[in-house]
Copies of this chain bind each other. A is one copy, B any other.
Amino acid sequence: MRATLIYGAGDVRVENVPDPVLREPTDALVRVLRSCVCGSDLWPYKSRPATEQGERIGHEFLGVVEDVGSEVSGLRRGDVVVAPFVWSDNTCDFCREGLQTSCRHGGLWAADGVDGGQGEAVRVPQAQGTLVKLPAGEDSALLPSLLTLSDVFPTGHHCAFTAGVGPGTTVTVIGDGAVGLCAVLAAKRLGAEQIILMGRHKDRTDLGRDFGATDIVAERDEEGVERVRELTGGDGTRAVLECVGTEQAIGTAFAVARDGGTVSRIGAPQYEKVAMGFGEFFRNLTLTGGVAPARAYIEELLPEILDGTLEPGRVFDRTVGLEQVPDGYRAMNDRTALKVLIQP
């Protein structure tokens, strides 16, 4: 089959790889209907050292079950399913607590002999725990929004949820990428009263307004902080959703948080340390968030996608075929595309 591999910074290729086969009785084979490129795929795309051997890449996909192992129940050939970006048994203590990213028998796509999502098909380990059956056909117009259940929408939700967003909460979202926009949508869904979106790409912040942002702050750094403070009577917001992953963004996050407030981070950290010294201590600021256990949220978020209330799939502004995946990476890296959908 054809699948995407990364060989180094700026070097993504679509090549022939062995067809996946069932290896464990807990496996399933899934033919990919839709996949996409994640903001986090851009970090290796920007910086991975070049190697002779490529590595599989991609961790968001939705597809059709082709075959299941003998120990997989509840799934059968022809089912349309979505896979969260970490696979997990969904039965261990961590999974039962909703922390499937720490599953005792789970792991990552495109690592340790497991397929990546940006290909024609995937062998899914722990298939019964990992895959969620969708009441949708192979040609459903909802597929883009349903695909977001794999990562970007639950990631935005995890950010808002762990920050404690609820009815009436004031929220700042830092970053107008796809995750930031999904964090806006999630905060709105949870009842936030004021949602200030910090971002400077008008097409993106316009979508942010559609998703529920009440204010847009295009300024950055100190000027941006000043602007958020103006919008909040000088105090900042109770919840801050940090959807970038840089040290600079974390610094901004603390600066726009209200005393006693919570910063939730969901951008994969491109830093080792966080500035949380005496000032943040005295202000009783909390830093929470982390990699989203997408699996924990799919059932909760699904109904509002099915009934059309929520359209997180609007974050996709370009669709490519599998052979054009390298173009998709380029477009996202150049910021000419917000998020690229792949239709193999």
Contact = CB atoms under 8 A, between A and B. Distances in A.
Contact of A281 (B99, B102, B290): B290
Contacts of A282: 101, 290-291
Interface string A274-288: 111110111111111
Contacts of A276: 269, 273-274, 276, 287
A288 B288 contact: yes
A268 interface: yes
Interface residues of A, number: 32
A139 interface: no
A273 B275 CA distance: 4
A133 interface: no
Q: Which secondary structure characterizes the binding site on chain A?
A: mixed
A78 interface: no
Contacts of A287: 276, 286-288
A56 interface: no
B291 A102 contact: no
Contacts of A162: 284, 286
A137 interface: no
A283 B287 CA distance: 13
Contacts of A203: none
A99 to B, nearest CB: 4
A162 B260 CA distance: 11
Interface in A242-298: 259-260, 265, 268-269, 271-278, 280-291, 293
A282 B268 CA distance: 9
Nearest to A278: B269
A94 interface: yes
A17 to B, nearest CB: 27
A97 interface: yes
Given A99-B259, A260-B97, A288-B288, A275 B278 contact: no
Contacts of A277: 269, 271-273
A94 B260 contact: yes
Contact of A291 (B268, B284, B289, B291): B284
A99 B260 contact: yes
Interface in A90-140: 94, 97, 99, 101-102
A174 to B, nearest CB: 16
B275 A272 contact: yes
Contact of A101 (B269, B272, B273, B284): B284
Q: Enumerate the 9 nearest inter-chain pairs by beta-carbon distance, A residue then B residue, closest first.
A: A284-B290, A102-B259, A273-B273, A286-B288, A272-B277, A99-B260, A274-B276, A287-B287, A281-B290
Interface of A: 94, 97, 99, 101-102, 162, 259-260, 265, 268-269, 271-278, 280-291, 293
5 contacts: A102-B283, A268-B281, A273-B276, A284-B291, A286-B289
Given A94-B260, A97-B260, A284-B293, 5 more contacts: A269-B278, A281-B290, A286-B286, A286-B287, A287-B287
